[in-house]
């Protein structure tokens, strides 16, 4: 039996709020963050909706306390990770503390500014814009600011990245390498990812409709979400009452295609059953599934099919909150972990916005209105390119 890992704090920033309180308010009020593009300087402003954090980099820097030239990825990370730390009320100086973050683009938002000048003339381009390019850079900046430098690393497994960051953090604590880990992920919108998903023809030109028969694709979003993971020892010694237990998790691979999910959802199935097995739970114990639910034709049918395989024709209540936050890629599992914990703590299931028609392949559909209901166990799914599939389970204490 593995030592239990508790969630002692949460922090979030996304299109639906700068912190946990604002996020909860928007979730409860069914207010989506998907809207016209105002911050990202892209040719698709006006045609592609996104879920942006409506602050310029300078405005974000004023909140984060980082330098305005530092990457948007780092700014978002700083704001959410700092909230998680403060939310935990733990004195970090007494413990071995680490920071495990995730992202997919690193400092791409600045690199693309640099590249424009650089491509025209290799001796031009502001080098400040490119030195923070690699994925690990944002992690080190934030870890140092938060005093979590006893173990630092970054995971980049596409859209499952921050789920894997939480798992790795939990395992570091279980293996007694650290006492506290802030884990999660961050990603900023960039023209690189926007054009990438555009070239794959999976972006919705309207606000997305996850798990709908007539879904057209996803909306990209940005933000960051983190949880503070602690051992029993920390919890007891600090005299804190944790928000939830990280009761199960699993990382599996679909090994089917580079970008597409298998029709049977094999990787998704393995991730969900693996997490249930670790938690020692039966499928019927799960009260709510926070879906990966991107809104692409491929993901939703594959995920839905896997859910049918695990839970049968009458699965638990489910919803994709990407209709609120957009798909925040490397941050999505961190953001959805925070949302899942909010659901658990408040006994409420947030609706799957804009859902109209049940998918013909599935005998069930998502929750479409706010539902108040005591929740004991919540499953959160994250699946990504390269077949990387991860599921985590949060339980009420």
Partner 1 sequence: MQTLKGQIVEQLNLQHIKPEDIGDDQPLFIEGLGLDSIDALELIVLLQQKYGIKLANPSEGPTVFKTVRSIAEYITAHKAA
Partner 2 sequence: MKPLYINGASCISPQPTFGTEFPFEIKEYHGSRLACVEPDYTPYIDPKLSRRMGRLLKYGTTAGLQALRDTGVQVPDAISTGTGFGLLDDSGKFLKNVIEAAEGVVSPTAFIQSTHNTVSSNIALAVGCHAHNNTFAHKGFSFESALTDAQMLATENESIRNILVGAYDEVTDYSCQIMQRLGLIKTSEESNLDLLKHASKGTIAGEGATFFVLSPDRGAKIYARYRGNKLLYKPASGAVLSSAIQGFLAGHGGGVSDVAVLSGLSGDQRRDTLLQEVNTGLFEGNTILGYKHLCGEYMTSTAFAMWLGAMILHSRVVPAAAVLSGTPSCPQHILICNSYKNDYALILLSVA
Only one of the segments 50-58, 81-89, 251-259, 337-345 lies at the binding site for partner 1 (rule: CB under 8 A); that segment is 251-259
In the complex, least distance from residue 238 CB atom to partner 2, rounded to whole angstroms: 24
Identify whether the C-beta of residue 283 lies closer than 8 Å to the C-beta of residue 269. no
What angle, rounded to 10 degrees, do the helices at 161-174 and 332-346 form? 70
Contact between 93 and partner 1 (CB under 8 A)?
no
Identify whether the C-beta of residue 394 lies closer than 8 Å to the C-beta of residue 246. yes
**Range 189-228, binding partner 1 (CB under 8 A):** 199-201
Contact between 89 and partner 1 (CB under 8 A)?
no
Q: 320 exposed, middle or buried (CB, 10 Å; 0-12, 13-18, 19+)?
A: buried
14: phi then psi, degrees, rounded to nearest 5? -160, -170
Identify whether the C-beta of residue 183 lies closer than 8 Å to the C-beta of residue 103. no
Strand partners, 98: 151, 181
- Secondary-structure breakdown of the chain: helix, strand, coil percentages, each rounded to the nearest 5: 40, 20, 40
Partner interacting with residue 394 (select from partner 2, partner 1, none; CB below 5-8 Å by kind): none
CB atoms < 10 A from the CB of 114, how many?
Answer: 19
Helix (H) or strand (E) holding 78: helix 72-88
Partner interacting with residue 256 (select from partner 2, partner 1, none; CB below 5-8 Å by kind): partner 2
| Beta carbon nearer to partner 2, 157 or 247 | 157
CB atoms < 10 A from the CB of 142, how many?
Answer: 29
Partner interacting with residue 204 (select from partner 2, partner 1, none; CB below 5-8 Å by kind): none
Q: Which CA distances in Å does 342 have to 11, 27, 149, 369, 394? A: 11, 10, 28, 16, 11
- For this structure, is 133 an active site residue? no
Residues 297/300/306/312 CA torsion (nearest 10 deg): -110
Which residue out of 327, 355, 377, 389 is catalytically annotated? 327
Positive or negative, the Cα torsion across 365, 370, 372, 377?
Answer: positive
In the complex, least distance from residue 135 CB atom to partner 2, rounded to whole angstroms: 4
| Beta carbon nearer to partner 2, 69 or 256 | 256
| Beta carbon nearer to partner 2, 149 or 356 | 149
| Beta carbon nearer to partner 2, 34 or 203 | 203
Buried b (16+ CB within 10 A) or exposed e, 61-88: bebbebeeebbbbbbbbbbbbbbbbebb
* Residue choice 257, 284, 356, 357 for contact with partner 1 (CB under 8 A): 257
Which residue out of 159, 208, 355, 389 is catalytically annotated? 159
Contact between 35 and partner 1 (CB under 8 A)?
no
| Beta carbon nearer to partner 2, 110 or 355 | 110
In the complex, least distance from residue 202 CB atom to partner 1, rounded to whole angstroms: 9
Q: Who contacts 390 (Cβ-Cβ below 8 Å, separation ≥6)? A: 157, 160, 163, 164, 167, 249, 250, 251, 252, 271, 333, 381, 382, 383
- For this structure, is 327 an active site residue? yes
Q: How far is CA 123 from the centre of its chain?
A: 38
248: phi then psi, degrees, rounded to nearest 5? -160, 155
Partner interacting with residue 151 (select from partner 1, partner 2, none; CB below 5-8 Å by kind): partner 2
| Beta carbon nearer to partner 2, 37 or 60 | 37
Which residue out of 26, 97, 208, 292 is catalytically annotated? 292
Partner interacting with residue 314 (select from partner 2, partner 1, none; CB below 5-8 Å by kind): none
- For this structure, is 208 an active site residue? no
Count of residues in contact with partner 1, rule CB under 8 A:
7
Partner interacting with residue 260 (select from partner 2, partner 1, none; CB below 5-8 Å by kind): partner 1
Q: In the complex, which residues of this chain contact partner 2 (CB under 8 A)?
A: 2, 42-44, 104, 106, 108, 111-112, 115-116, 118-119, 122-123, 127, 130-131, 133-137, 139-140, 143-144, 149, 151-158, 164, 168, 171-172, 174-175, 177, 191-192, 194-196, 198-200, 251-259, 266-267, 270, 384-388
List, by residue number, the catalytic residues.
159, 292, 327
- Binding interface with partner 1 (CB under 8 A): 199-201, 257-260
């Amino acid at each position: 039996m593995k030592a239990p890992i508790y969630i002692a704090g949460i922090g979030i920033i996304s299109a639906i709020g700068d912190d946990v309180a604002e996020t909860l308010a928007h979730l409860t009020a069914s207010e989506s963050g998907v809207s016209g593009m105002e911050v990202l300087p892209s040719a698709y402003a006006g045609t592609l909706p996104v879920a942006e954090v409506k602050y310029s980099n300078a405005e974000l820097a004023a909140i984060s306390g980082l330098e305005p030239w530092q990457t948007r990825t780092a700014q978002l990370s700083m704001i959410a990770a700092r909230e998680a730390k403060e939310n935990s009320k733990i004195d970090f100086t007494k413990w071995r503390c680490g920071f495990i973050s995730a992202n997919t683009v690193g400092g791409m938002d600045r690199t693309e500014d640099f590249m424009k000048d650089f491509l025209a003339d290799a001796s031009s381009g502001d080098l400040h814009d490119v030195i923070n390019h690699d994925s690990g850079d944002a992690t080190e900046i934030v870890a140092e600011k938060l005093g979590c430098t006893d173990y630092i690393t970054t995971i980049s497994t596409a859209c499952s990245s921050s789920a894997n960051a939480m798992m790795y953090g939990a395992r570091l604590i279980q293996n007694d390498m650290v006492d506290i880990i802030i884990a999660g992920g961050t990603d900023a919108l960039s023209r690189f990812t926007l054009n990438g998903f555009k070239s794959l023809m999976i972006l919705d030109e309207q606000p997305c409709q996850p798990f709908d028969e007539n879904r057209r694709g996803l909306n990209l979003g940005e933000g960051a979400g983190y949880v503070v993971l602690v051992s029993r020892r920390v919890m007891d010694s600090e005299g804190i009452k944790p928000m939830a237990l990280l009761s199960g998790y699993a990382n599996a691979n679909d090994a089917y295609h580079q970008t597409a999910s298998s029709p049977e959802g094999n990787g998704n199935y393995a991730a969900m059953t693996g997490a249930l097995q670790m938690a020692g739970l039966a499928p019927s114990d799960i009260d709510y599934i926070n879906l990966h639910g991107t809104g692409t034709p491929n993901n939703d049918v594959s995920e839905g099919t896997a859910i049918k395989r695990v839970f049968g024709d009458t699965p638990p209540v489910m919803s994709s909150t990407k209709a609120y936050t957009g798909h925040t890629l490397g941050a999505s599992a961190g953001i959805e972990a925070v949302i899942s914990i909010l659901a658990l703590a408040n006994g409420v299931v947030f609706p799957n916005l804009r859902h109209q028609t049940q998918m013909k392949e599935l005998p069930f559909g998502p929750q479409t209105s706010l539902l108040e209901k005591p929740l004991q166990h919540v499953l959160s799914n994250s699946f990504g390119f390269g077949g990387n599939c991860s599921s985590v389970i949060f339980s009420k204490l």
